[in-house]
Amino acid sequence: MVSISQDAQYFLRRAMDAETRNTPVQVIEFFDRAIKMDPGYAMAWNEKANYLDRIGKLDEALSCYDTALKIEPEDAEIWFNKGLTLKKIGREDDAVSCINRGIKLAIG
């Protein structure tokens, strides 16, 4: 089990809280601070990827999902999220594969 510092958790919460009222640069800065404090914080990588997806930076989002999956390769949510982003860029087969892997992991 990975232990995540309270400071990293704090900046992840700040990033997620800031998404609706701050500029993308500020939000990404909070995610990056959390990741800098704990580079193995898969949830921070996943949430940063989700945010990048929402603002249309799909290639950067995929890179973050890949990093999160290196840390937590059996995380269903990350696989599912990556699949949704792949679908947006038209990589249907890869998208279906990722989504199916996420579903299989989620249901055991």
Give the tens place of pLDDT for each residue, 41-97. 999 999 999 999 999 999 999 999 999 999 999 999 999 999 999 999 999 999 999
CA quadruple 4, 77, 61, 29: dihedral, nearest 10 = -30
pLDDT at position 2 is: 60
Whole-structure pTM value: 0.85
Q: Which amino acid is at 79?
A: W
CA distance 79 to 107: 13
Helices H / strands E in the chain, number of each:
6, 0
Per the listing, tokens 């990556």 go with 82
Give the tens place of pLDDT for each residue, 21-42. 767 788 899 899 999 999 999 9
pLDDT at position 22 is: 65
CA distance 7 to 76: 26
Q: Is 16 exposed, middle or buried (0-12, 13-18, 19+ CB in 10 A)?
A: middle
Residue 4 pLDDT exceeds 90: no
Within a 10 A sphere around the Cβ of 101, how many other Cβ atoms? 19
In contact, 58 and 52? CB cutoff 8 Å: yes
